[in-house]
Structure 1
């Protein structure tokens, strides 16, 4: 039996789909979502929902209920990717080299649909609902801008979601604990002394010690960390030298690191710096390490996850609440969770008949749009349930 919130989501399904398809045809990259922002603002004004701009192209909209209470924030990201679309849809991107290949167009449309439903229930609300239409998720910059603009001031809980092909349409994963990995980029630069390749003893090569450095990276993980606390180190860039007969003075590495626990992250950072110092001393070269902290690991707080799970049961049915493995991918949603309790849901959009099978960031990425009514309803149901708790 369809619950009341889901019934409301079905009633506005055409509105949500139309808005999503317009965004899909006109994708904008991170920090460039100018027209996307204008479109969302036009709809918020029609709905009579107060808003203010934040960051470069983000929006913080606020709906205050008829009675005082707690504050809940709902977040939807709005940026696209620099990908040439190959998906066979009638509303495919008309912006050359840009594509909504991560489903943020659907996320924004689902949040707008939730805002529409909640605006019609305004007087019934006990507390406040904030809607974050967030720029720059792909660059891990948007959440920080909303936070800097005061978006999280006084927020008691924050909720977000992402469509995933690991679940069929109509299923959802809302699991407590670590759900997505944090991400750091590590830059290593070796500096030696150049010279002729025939007389390496008069120079200080950097390519060989860089190779030794790379092969030793995995030892940091296997010998310093609990094997049940996963960390991934991937060397994505190795650049050194100019010519075969010239000893390379400089070699540079770029390493991607994924982790869950802050303790493991700290130990790996310390291990890499120790390793770099040892290599430098052993080969008499200078080794500099710079660590760029990109995104935090995503942790679903137990109390609000329980509320969100109960909300999901009302929308999806208990039999469709599924737990999937943790993801080593990263999100900027955890920055919000530094300021309050948070929960993040994975919604299934897989439908093989519609070729909705591809993981985000694929040029043939396509969603089953039937999943969007579930996202709208889950936003609304969680907001109502949390404010009543």
Structure 2
């Protein structure tokens, strides 16, 4: 059997250098034009055909020497509006923008996997698609690749994210829900303005909106099964214009995290019902608008088994560690609507290198030793799935 990890180690310097170049020149979601150019240049060297999608995304296709299934591998490559505060020699040269979520590493690992697999082209029974994706941070990039036909005919998809809960050389791959879905809910109460000295002649919205905010947690505890976690957080509350003017409008913005789609529907209906009940009680109008941000991520059971075996080949026995589900969100689940998929969390923690920070921190730093493992896992899972 081909030792994929050794192949990844043989190109480790290439992967690290490419990652560092991306880190030094980060670009925000939907604006990753230079990043796209750099990846295309490498794909041309590898003679892997590609097409552009969305604003800056790339769909590259490697056809194997034999007929078979089709697998899609995905990496994101957008950065964040964060001012970098690390001491690395390749720190961001763009003020106020930083690869603080490790997407530079994700793109470099996928490119490394493409390099390995392209050299094994004749041995591959099927087709491999490489998605280099824009705009994960805005939950927009996956949809653009899907709209461009990227998932047409795909049998399985695979992705990964670096995480600091795991030491370098360890991974988390489990079946079932692994990341939460995310919705933003906008609630606007409308009353009648008036003078603060005679509130009974007006219809105040601030007091009812306060009751609504307090009431929200009753939905979590009384309408939702405690075995299905959900988070409702009010992040914005805006009402009124002046102390002595009764507020005609009050707006409440809610972030909701969930796993179970049925729970999501129950919560949506409950929020609408409670908002209307409170509005009716105070003779107000209310508008509830729900904006879908991302779906919950659920790993396919069979693919999780294959990926676990792949991780053992790459990392060794006992390196797949259980982790709690994350309440954070990803746009990877949109691919899972079109084909079964699995998503892995790769460890980059190394305290000696200060690789300890959770994504989105200004001192975010990965242990670059993890790059070869992620590269190898991409390639190993591809071969294992296509040969299964």
3-12 or 352-361, which moves further after superposition?
3-12
> Which residue of structure 1 lines up, in the alignment, with residue 91 of structure 2?
92
1:14 aligned residue: 13
Match of 2:366 in 1: 367
Which residue is 1:234 aligned to?
Answer: 233
Alignment correspondent of 1:39: 38
Query: Which residue of the partner structure matches residue 220 of structure 1?
Result: 219
Secondary structure, counterpart of 2:177 in structure 1:
strand
Distance 1:301 1:318 in 2: 22
Rounded to whole Å, the distance in 2 between the matches of 1:226 and 1:194 is 40
Q: 1:289 to 1:137 in 2, by over 3 A?
A: same
Secondary structure at the aligned position of 1:96 is classed as coil
Task: Supply the distance in 2 between the matched residues of 1:186 and 1:314 (Cα, whole angstroms).
Answer: 44
After TM superposition, list the pairs within 5 Å mapping 1:74-113 onto structure 2: 74-113=73-112
- Check conservation: 1:349, 1:368, Cα contact below 8 A: yes
C-alpha displacement of 1:319 = 1.2
> Which residue in the other structure is 2:280 paired with?
281
CA-CA distance at 1:3 after TM superposition: 7.0
Provide the secondary structure at the position in 1 that maps to 2:164: strand
Q: Name the CA distance, whole Å, in 1 between partners of 2:240 and 2:230.
A: 30
**DSSP-derived class of the 1:319 partner:** coil
TM-score using structure 1 length: 0.99
Which residue of structure 2 aligns with residue 379 of structure 1? Answer: 378
Deviation at 1:10, TM superposition (A): 0.3
TM-score normalised to the size of structure 2? 0.99
Separation (CA, whole Å) in 2 of partners of 1:305 and 1:151: 22
Q: Is the 8 A contact 1:75 1:159 kept in 2?
A: yes
Q: Which residue of 2 aligns with 1:295?
A: 294
Per-residue deviation, 1:183: 0.1
Distance 1:91 1:171 in 2: 26
**Count of residues in Structure 1 that have an aligned counterpart in Structure 2:** 388
Q: 2:243 maps to which residue?
A: 244
What SS does the aligned partner of 2:256 have?
strand
1:110–1:326: structure 2 CA closer, same or farther, 3 Å change rule?
Answer: same
Q: Is contact 1:6-1:377 (8 Å) kept? A: yes
* Residue 321 of structure 1: aligned partner: 320
* Separation of aligned partners in 2, 1:153 and 1:241: 50
2:121, 2:177 → 1: CA distance? 34
Q: Which runs of 5+ in 2 are unaligned?
A: none
Q: Give 1:70 deviation, angstroms.
A: 0.2
Match of 2:335 in 1: 336
Residues 178 and 300 in structure 1, CA contact (< 8 A), matched pair in contact too: yes
Distance (whole Å) between structure 1 residues aligned to residue 111 and residue 124 of structure 2: 17
CA distance in 1, matches of 2:219, 2:2: 52
SS at match of 1:19: helix
Q: 1:20·1:105 contact (CA, 8 Å) conserved in 2?
A: yes
Cα deviation code 1:76-99 (max 9, x no counterpart): 001000000001100000011100
**Runs (4+) of structure 1 moved beyond 3 Å?**
none
User: d(CA) in 1 for partners of 2:166 and 2:341?
Assistant: 22
| Counterpart Cα distance in 2 of 1:365 and 1:324 | 21
Q: Distance in 1 between matches of 2:2 and 2:222?
A: 52
Q: Could you tell me how far apart the structure 2 residues matched to 1:225 and 1:76 are?
A: 34
Cα contact 1:356–1:366 (8 A) shared by 2: yes
Using the alignment, how far apart are the partners of 1:225 and 1:291 within structure 2? 18
| 1:184-195 alignment runs, 5 A limit | 184-195=183-194
Show CA shifts across 1:289-346 (max 9, x none): 0000110000000011111111001001121110100000000000000001100000
Match of 2:57 in 1: 58
* Residue equivalent to 1:167: 166
Contact 1:117/1:380, CA 8 A, preserved across alignment: yes
RMSD across aligned C-alpha pairs, in angstroms? 0.8
**Which residue in 2 is equivalent to 1:147?**
146
CA distance in 2, matches of 1:382, 1:211: 51
Q: What is the match of residue 387 of structure 2?
A: 388
User: In structure 1, what is the equivalent of residue 357 of structure 2?
Assistant: 358
| Structure 1 residue 146, shift from structure 2 partner | 0.2
Give the deviation of 1:225 after TM superposition: 1.1
Decide whether the 8 Å contact of 1:3 with 1:315 is kept in 2.
no
Query: Which residue of 2 is the match for residue 4 of structure 1?
Result: 3
Whole-angstrom distance in 2 between the partners of 1:319 and 1:174: 12
What's the secondary structure of 2:318's corresponding residue?
helix
